[in-house]
């Protein structure tokens, strides 16, 4: 007979278990049950002794979850660029794959406009048969589609492009990403109403914010069947910080193109070369040349459990869990290492991995209490493999931080503290 605390089904070094091993099946979760200490007699708490709160019109998280918040980071001193900055999704506090609307990351270049939906309009013009203006009500009346998709800022994981590893939570490093079920109108349907000139090849999308944030998008993506003018996020109308009353969703492509507060789509015969596709969101190589129009987000994964602030409190069984995604399609495989990359084991993927959507991976791990380095490496259906940090950095100039999709390594110390390390 196997002893309770000695699972034999190891899949890789450092205590990673075969993914078919069920936690708890013949193994102890915690020292308490292993030692068999007797529990105290059950009490009846006060909330079971009288009727609770009444119904409410809009539900809020439990006050005990009040610490689960976006971490806000302004990018300029006060009075210089108020409203230009980011807030990070607290990835380490969340489970599953859909991001709650109130915790979905933000990136604004000039604050959140307070839009009156009765007065907001979308104009489609340029190389079209008939320029058209749409009210929000008109867009709401068009046939809709829903799809699940992640949305990642091109600057996500920027801290890991710095020379020294930053000690921040998983969300503060990798949380410029969220995933949602988006519902709206296909952008191609709206453009078809205006009649796109066959010689057109790009569009310019522009927001109604103070910066009139603008990006060029190839017509192939616009008409390709997954580009959407989203009106709803996870079933409710978009939040103001996500582009209320309407935004673009371009599954798999960098966030800054997915124009919030969309007010204008101009059909053109080439890219406009806006500030945010030349000065910013272009990738400077070591040789001084910059890559422009790198739209698709690369294959990537991150372990959210354990991660800084979220760690096993004692040796024994623990479920490693994390998120993987690829702008090119489905995640086909995620491997996990507990020995700094010396050996790898396949993680289980939760549910069917949907294309251009977050995929949750899990793997049981029997931590022996020794210092360990945990890593995850994703592969997508095109065969693309998530690079090591050194591989990722190879082509780039110092300070180049966009499209950082390198493998994250977390070091776990004997006392269960997790830190960010470069391996």
Q: Does 17 bind other proteins (CB under 8 A)?
A: no
The answer to whether residue 292 forms part of the interface with ligand HEC (CB under 6 A) is no
Asked if residue 401 binds other proteins (CB under 8 A), the reply is: no
Report the C-alpha gap between 259 and 146 in whole angstroms.
Answer: 18
Site residues for ligand HEC, 199-258, by CB under 6 A, read 211
CB of 291 to ligand HEC, least distance (A): 17
With CB cut-offs between 5 and 8 Å by kind, which of ligand HEC, other proteins, none does residue 20 bind? Answer: none
Of 204, 257, 358, 373, which one interacts with other proteins (CB under 8 A)?
Answer: 204
| Interacting span for other proteins (CB under 8 A) from 8-16, 145-153, 192-200, 356-364 | 192-200
Please identify, using beta-carbon distances, which residue of 210 and 310 lies nearer to ligand HEC: 210
In the list 146, 166, 279, 382, the residue contacting other proteins (rule: CB under 8 A) is 279
How far apart CA 155 and CA 173 sit, in angstroms, is 10
Considering only residues 38 through 57, tell me which ones interact with other proteins, judged by CB under 8 A: none
Which position has the token pair 């979760």? Answer: 29
Q: Residue 116: CA atoms inside 13 Å, Cβ hemisphere, count? A: 2
Shortest distance, position 281 Cβ to ligand HEC, whole Å: 10
Which residues from 42-81 bind ligand HEC, rule CB under 6 A? Answer: 76, 80-81
State the number of binding residues for ligand HEC (CB under 6 A): 9
At 207, list the tokens. Answer: 């927001």
Partner from other proteins, ligand HEC, none binding residue 124, C-beta < 5-8 Å depending on class: other proteins
**DSSP per-residue letters across 74-133:** ESS-TTTSTT-EEEE--GGG--SSPPPGGGS-EEESS------TTT-EEEEEESBSS-EE
Spatial contact of 292 and 369, defined as CB atoms under 8 Å apart: no
Q: Which residues of 245-256 are buried (b: 16+ CB within 10 A; e: fewer)?
A: bbbbbbbbbbbb
Closer CB to other proteins, residue 294 or residue 343? 294
Residues 207-266 that bind other proteins (CB under 8 A): 210-212, 214, 218, 263-264, 266
- Helix, strand, or coil (residue 160): helix
User: How many chain residues are in contact with other proteins, going by CB under 8 A?
Assistant: 59
**Which residue, among 205, 200, 229, 199, has the nearest Cα to 217 in the 3D structure?**
205
For residues 363 and 16, is the Cβ–Cβ distance under 8 A? yes
Quick check: 275 binds ligand HEC (CB under 6 A)? yes
Nearer to other proteins, 201 or 343 (CB): 201
CB < 8 Å & 24+ apart, contacts of 42-49: none
Considering CB distances under 5 to 8 angstroms, the limit depending on partner class, which of ligand HEC, other proteins, none binds residue 4? none
Q: Which two tokens stand for residue 351?
A: 């549910």
Task: Check binding of 84 to ligand HEC (CB under 6 A).
Answer: yes
Q: How far apart are CA 82 and CA 110, in angstroms?
A: 7
Separation between Cα atoms, residue 87 and residue 73, nearest integer Å: 6
Closer residue to other proteins (CB): 243 or 316: 243
Candidate residues 22, 32, 72, 133; the one interacting with other proteins per rule CB under 8 A: 133
Distances (CA, A) of 299 to 38, 63, 168, 295, 338: 48, 36, 22, 13, 21
Angstrom distance (rounded) from CA 366 to CA 317: 4
Q: Which is nearer to ligand HEC, 214 or 366 (CB)?
A: 214
292 contacts other proteins (rule: CB under 8 A): yes
Using the rule CB under 8 A, which residue among 98, 142, 145, 385 binds other proteins? 142
The smaller minimum CB distance to ligand HEC, of residues 17 and 158, is found at 158
* Closest residue to bound ligand HEC by CB: 81
Cα 192 to Cα 265: distance, rounded to the nearest angstrom:
13
Separation of alpha carbons 300 and 130, rounded Å: 42
Residues 97-116 interacting with ligand HEC (rule: CB under 6 A): 109
C-alpha span between 110 and 113 (Å, rounded):
8
- Other beta carbons less than 10 A from residue 97's beta carbon: 20
Residue whose CB is less far from ligand HEC, 89 or 256: 256
In the region spanning residues 62 to 91, those forming contacts with other proteins, defined by CB under 8 A, are 76-77, 80-81, 84
> Contact residues for other proteins (CB under 8 A)?
76-77, 80-81, 84, 109-110, 123-125, 130-134, 138, 141-143, 188-190, 192-194, 204, 206, 210-212, 214, 218, 263-264, 266, 268, 270-275, 278-279, 282, 284, 286-295, 397-399
> Contact residues for ligand HEC (CB under 6 A)?
76, 80-81, 84, 109, 211, 275, 279-280
């Amino acid at each position: 007979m196997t002893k309770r605390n000695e699972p034999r089904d190891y899949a890789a070094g450092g205590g990673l278990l075969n993914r078919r091993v069920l936690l708890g099946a013949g193994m102890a979760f915690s020292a308490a049950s292993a030692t068999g200490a007797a529990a105290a007699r059950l009490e009846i708490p006060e909330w079971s002794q009288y009727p609770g709160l009444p119904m409410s019109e809009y539900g809020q998280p439990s006050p005990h979850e009040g610490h689960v918040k976006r971490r806000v980071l302004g990018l300029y001193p006060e009075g210089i660029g108020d409203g230009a900055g980011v807030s990070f999704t607290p990835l380490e506090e969340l489970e599953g794959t859909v991001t709650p609307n109130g915790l979905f990351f933000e990136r604004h270049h000039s604050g959140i406009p307070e839009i009156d939906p009765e007065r907001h309009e979308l104009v489609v013009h340029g190389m079209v048969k008939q320029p058209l203006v749409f009210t929000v009500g008109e867009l709401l009346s068009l046939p809709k589609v829903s799809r699940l998709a992640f949305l990642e800022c091109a600057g996500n994981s920027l801290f890991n492009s710095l020379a020294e590893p930053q000690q921040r939570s998983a969300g503060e490093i990798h949380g410029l990403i969220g995933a949602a079920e988006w519902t709206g109108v296909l952008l191609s349907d709206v453009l078809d109403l205006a009649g796109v000139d066959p010689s057109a090849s790009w569009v310019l999308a522009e927001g109604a914010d103070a910066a009139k944030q603008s990006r060029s998008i190839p017509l192939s993506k616009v008409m390709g069947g997954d580009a959407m003018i989203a009106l709803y996020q996870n079933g409710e109308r978009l939040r103001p910080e996500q582009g209320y009353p309407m935004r673009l969703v371009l599954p798999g492509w960098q966030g800054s193109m997915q124009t919030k507060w969309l007010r204008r789509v101009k059909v053109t015969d080439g890219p406009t070369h806006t500030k945010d596709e030349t000065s910013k969101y272009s990738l400077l190589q070591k040789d001084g040349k910059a890559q422009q129009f790198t739209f698709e987000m690369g294959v990537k994964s991150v372990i959210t459990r354990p991660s800084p602030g979220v760690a096993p409190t004692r040796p024994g069984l623990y479920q490693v869990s994390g998120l993987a995604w690829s702008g090119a399609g489905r995640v086909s495989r995620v491997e996990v290492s507990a020995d700094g990359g010396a050996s790898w084991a396949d993680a289980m993927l939760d549910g069917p991995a949907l294309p251009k959507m977050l995929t949750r991976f899990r793997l049981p791990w029997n931590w022996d209490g020794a210092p360990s380095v945990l890593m995850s490496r994703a592969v997508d259906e095109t065969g693309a493999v998530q690079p090591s940090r050194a591989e990722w950095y190879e082509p780039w100039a110092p300070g180049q931080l966009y499209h950082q999709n390198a493998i994250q390594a977390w070091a776990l110390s004997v006392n269960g503290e997790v830190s960010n390390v470069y391996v």
